[in-house]
Amino acid sequence: MKTIHFGILGAARIAANQLIPAMKEAQGVEITALASRDEARGRAFAEQHDIPVCYASYEELLCDPRIDAVYIPLPNHLHAPMTILAAMHGKHVLCEKPAARNKAEANQMIAACRAHRVVFREAFMYTHHHQWKRVREIIASGEIGSLRAVHAVFSFLLNRENDIRLQPEMGGGALYDVGCYAVHAIRTLMDGSEPVSVKASAAFYESGVVDQTLLAILEFSGGRFGYLDCSFSFADRQCVEIIGDRGTIRVEYPFRPDKGTPNLQIATEDVHRVETLAHDAMYRLMVESFAEAIRTGNTLVEEEDGTLQNMAWMERIYAAAGRRVGDSPLG
């Protein structure tokens, strides 16, 4: 098995807490280098996590011929330029979600990766948890009948005043940060069908750009609906309810199953049962899947198209919610 050598761009919490441990556990993967614009912080971070090389700029890391792929956990506004630059250097890209701030940026990112024949993946790790395989099995079995609606929610209380998720120029906002999961889940369960109409309402911070709370209703052909809400001011909550014409599936802890017990509640006219699923290493499974795509030359076209559609939907939702345009990422 060919070892895939990773470089990490930035000393982010998500890298420290999730992706670095996952990469160290993954088969056929090695962390070769880290880059940080704050050299002192980067060196301390690299030493803490036993990363052998630390670069003082992202460009230096991208020029390292030993590195096959990069993981990008940087703020949202840097996803597009760093992905494009990585592709130009022939590096495969595992990019944190949301992939971009708008569909134009996403188009540029995917186009660059395809032009330079590198693999791109948006890091929606939750899809690699086996609870979603079980959800797909139940839907395919016909137990809940024909899919009629999906209701997805994700929120938490954000009380750090200077958090980058509150900065307009950095792509801050609840829809970007947690609502993107809800959009992804609805889009996936609706098999990529385009909504015929989008309605949304939001409470914005003073910037008029960064959404504190956002709710949206998406209508699809055949009388199907998607509902979502996301917030930085609601209590911690995450759930996906899948509604058929014969029953429902309630997915508990659908996006961060590591935060609780990933139960499935299945209810029909005749049955009400709970399936409790064990935790698994979803981050490691995502990394190993990405590494295997690199080895086999699988360009993950379906996932890339999903990223483009996700961003298009989010842009429509923001527009419907009245997000200020002009010099914001939406404009």
Per-residue pLDDT reduced to its tens digit, 18-31? 999 999 999 999 99
pTM for this model (two decimals): 0.95
pLDDT at 330: 54
Contacts of 74 (CB under 8 A, 6+ apart): 9, 10, 12, 82, 96
Q: Give residue 326's pLDDT.
A: 56
The 10 Å Cβ neighbour count of residue 289 is 15
Classify 223 as helix, strand or coil. coil
Counting every residue, how long is the chain?
331
| Residues facing residue 274 across a β-bridge | 265
Q: Torsions phi, psi of 225, nearest 5?
A: -140, 150
Contact criterion met (CB below 8 Å) for 31 and 24: yes
- Give me the domains of the chain, ranges plus CATH numbers: 4-125 (3.40.50.720), 127-283+313-321 (3.30.360.10)
SS3 315: helix
Chain segment 217-242, per-residue pLDDT in tens: 999 999 999 999 999 999 999 999 99
What value does the mean pLDDT take over residues 154-158? 97
* Residue 185 confidence (pLDDT) above 70: yes
More confident residue, 81 or 277: 81
Over residues 295-316, mean pLDDT: 93
Res. 154: pLDDT tops 90: yes
- Between CA 87 and CA 233 the distance in angstroms is 37
